Amino acid sequence: MKRARFAETLQALAHGRVEFIVVGMAAGVLQGVPLTTLDIDIVHRRTPENVARLMTVLSELEAVYRDDPRNLSPSTSHLLGPGHQLLTTINGDLDCLGSVDGDKDYDDLLGFSRELLVGERAVVRVLELAMLLEVKRRAGRPKDLAVLPFLEATIDEIAKRG
Tell me whether residue 2 or residue 141 sits nearer to other proteins (CB atom).
2
Residues 28, 32, 38, 40, CA torsion sign: positive
Tell me whether residue 4 or residue 110 sits nearer to other proteins (CB atom).
4
Tell me whether residue 28 or residue 74 sits nearer to other proteins (CB atom).
28
Rounded (10°) CA dihedral 152, 153, 154, 156: 90
Q: How far is the CB of 157 from other proteins (least distance, A)?
A: 5
Strands 84-89 and 20-23: unpaired
Tell me whether residue 38 or residue 52 sits nearer to other proteins (CB atom).
38
**Helices (H), strands (E): how many in the chain?**
8, 7
Q: How far is the CB of 37 from other proteins (least distance, A)?
A: 7
Residues that bind other proteins (CB under 8 A): 1-7, 10, 26, 29-34, 36-38, 92, 116-119, 149-150, 152-154, 157-158, 161
Q: How far is the CB of 83 from other proteins (least distance, A)?
A: 26
Residue 116, CA distances (Å) to 44, 50, 67, 122, 136 in order:
16, 20, 31, 8, 21
Q: How far is the CB of 29 from other proteins (least distance, A)?
A: 5
- Count other Cβ atoms within 10 Å, centred on residue 89: 22
